[in-house]
Each structure stands twice: as C-alpha cells, then as structure tokens.
Amino acid sequence: MKSSLAQISSFGQSIWLDYIRRKFIASGELKKLIDDDDLRGVTSNPAIFEEAIARSDDYWEAIKTLAQSGKSTEEIFLAVAIEDVQNAADTFKGVYEQTHGLDGYVSLEVSPTLAMDTAGTIKEAQSSWQTLNRPNVMIKVPGTSEGLPAITQLISEGINVNVTLLFSLERYRQVAEAYVAGLEQRAKKGEPIDKVASVASFFLSRIDALVDPKLEKLANKSTDKAETAKQLLGKTAIASAKMAYQIYKEVFQSARFKALAEKGAKPQRLLWASTSTKNPAYRDVLYVESLIGPDTVNTVPMETLNAFRDHGQPAARLEEGTDDARNSLAQLAELGIDLAAVTQQLEEEGIQKFIKPFTSLMGVLEEKRKEAATL
C-alpha cells in the first residue's frame, strides 16, 4: 500500500522536501524518502543552511580543511553548500532519469544580498551552475523586478532556475513570461531547449499570516463587513494559488508556448512553497491538501512531510472552487485590504528573512574559520 505522500504523484503533483543537511544525505535517510514516499526533489535556502551548518558539527572537518587552505568565509560556505547539493543531486539521479528530467532536482539559492542586483545574480548563478556541474540542479533566483531579466538570461543559457519569493499574481505572470522569453532567445540561437527546467515558487502561509490579522480586526467590529471578513479567514493564500494556476494554464497553453513545446520545451511548473501552517487553528496539512493538482510541485518542510504521511488525504483539489477563489480576492478589495501592497510587503520581508540567517551564518563561519586557522 502506497503511503499518503506517495499517492500524491498519481494526481500529477511532485512532492519535494524543503530541507538539506550533510548527515541526512550520507545516512541514507534521503534515499529512503525517495524509495518509500516517492520524494522527487529538494529545495534549500539560507535559513536551512544556517540551521544545518551553524547548529551542528557535521561540517567542522570540511570547514577546517577549507579554512586551512586559505579560503574566505563566503568561499567556505559555497564549497560546503555546493558539496551538499551535488551529493543530494546524485541521490536523485535515478528520479531525474526515470521522469525524463521532470523531477529529481536540488535547488541552491544565490546570495539573498543580490536580490536587487541583476548582474550580480546572473554572475553568481552562472558560477554556481558551472561548479555544481549536474543537470538536475536548479539555481534559486528571487522573483523581484531585478530578478526578471536575470531569469530570462539564465534560461537562455540553459541554466535551470527555481524562481523564489513569489507572492503576487502579477509578478507570477511576469516570471512565467520571463521564462518563456528565455526559451525563445535560446531557441533563436539554435540551441536545444528540451533539457531546460524551471519552477516558480509561490509562497503561501506567509500571505495568510499577514492578511488574517487585518481580517480579524474587521471581523471584531460590528459593521456590515464583519461577517465577510470572518468568512475569508485562512482563505487568501489558497485563493491566490488557485488563481496563479489559472494564469499558469493561460501562459503554457498559449500558441506562443506551444511553438516552444514542439521543440521539446517543458512548462515552468508552479511550486507551492511556505507550506507549513503558521496558525495552529488551521489543519497542519492545509497548504498541501488544498492544492494537489497536475503539473505542480509542493515543497514541504520535514514536519509537514511527516504530518501528511500520518494523516494527509490526497485528492485533486487544485481546480475546485476557482470561482470562489476569484470572489474571495475581490472581496478583500471590497473590505479595503490592498493585496498588491500586502504582497509587496511580503516580498521585501521575504528578502530580509533570508538575508538575516545568511548574515548570521557568515558570522558563525568566520569564527570557525579563525578557529581552524589557529589549529
């Protein structure tokens, strides 16, 4: 009997894990999840690496060797992160081959300090891609306005991209179009486009975490808006995701993309990110169960992965209630909640939430580098 997690793939969705750590790969735990639960990929970010490197001894020997060979703090970080991603990618090699390049990817983020720097993002992504030297890796690029031209450029060079920190529908559409433009540029150069892969990571729980308090404030007032506000609690993220999927279908079923598909191009799948439930009043697998549907990915933290295996109920729900989702977003505007302002705030905060652990990690690595140099 397949586990609840393994059953999700029968609905056309791939489950990836939002976690990486050296011991987790070396111990065979990652391989076990691939074999038992049909896990199909891994994502990482600066917060995950901070947790792994700064709060464990797994990396001390590697840090010591690199420090004693004269590497800088940032070079040490990139070296250990790249080794982890390479090892994880090698573990997923079979998945990559069996799915003909649809899955089996491991993602590495460019430095979050480059989120507003197009040229810097391109340069670091090119360097990491070359060093990783694996077909089944993706470079994570923030979906900021500065990230858009970087996405097009990298895709045109055949570099797989995981676009991260997406909150708004307008920005998501721009990202999908940036991907298509990159494929068009690559095809125009006469270069193959059948091996290029990309996902667009749409962040969920953070949307509700910011919108719900605004709704609660309105729900607690005795006005004609109170009941509407109450009914919208916990619905904004899922409604946004369902509308993003409608944009996905529009872009990737268009005549423009079909011309590329005939040359072997893959659609840029939507990936649901930030899928751990922040509000304890909501079901802990809310952002997994509600959004199962074809041609999508859900990247989940370990806690959510285990919760879904235990009591998740897999079923195709992504295209249920599309009209209700559209209405929910319209009602937010009627209540005076500006979703565009909310998503802009989330993008800015999201960048800071990755810069903070990255800066902290660099501080820890600097101390370890100095310590190693004295040995």
Query: Which pLDDT value is given to residue 375?
Result: 86
- Residue linked to tokens 């709060």: 55
If one looks up domain 4-206+236-317+344-374 in CATH, what number appears?
3.20.20.70
Active-site choice (31, 32, 140, 258): 140
Active site residue 64: no
Q: pLDDT truncated to tens, each residue of the chain (375 aa)?
A: 899 999 999 999 999 999 999 999 999 999 999 999 999 999 999 999 999 999 899 999 999 999 999 999 999 999 999 999 999 999 999 999 999 999 999 999 999 999 999 999 999 999 999 999 999 999 999 999 999 999 999 999 999 999 999 999 999 999 999 999 999 999 999 999 999 999 999 999 999 999 999 999 999 987 889 999 999 999 999 999 999 999 999 999 999 999 999 999 999 999 999 999 999 999 999 999 999 999 999 999 999 999 999 999 999 999 999 999 999 999 999 999 999 999 999 999 999 999 999 999 999 999 999 999 888
Quote the tokens at residue 277. 């439930």
- Residue linked to tokens 């904004």: 236
User: Bridge partners of 4?
Assistant: none
Q: Look up the pTM and report it.
A: 0.96
Quote the tokens at residue 32. 């076990």
265-285 core/surface letters (b: 16 or more CB in 10 A; e: else)? bbbbbbbbbbbbbeeeeebbb
What is the gyration radius of the CA atoms in the chain, in angstroms?
21
φ and ψ of 272, to 5 deg: -85, 120
Cα separation values, 28 from 31, 61, 336, Å:
5, 20, 51
User: Bridge partners of 202?
Assistant: 166, 272
Of 93, 43, 31, nearest in space to 272 by CA: 43
Give the span between the Cα atoms of 82 and 86, in whole angstroms: 6
Four-point Cα dihedral 272, 126, 59, 307, nearest 10: 10
Query: Which pLDDT value is given to residue 222?
Result: 78
Q: How many CB atoms neighbour CB 373 within 10 A?
A: 11
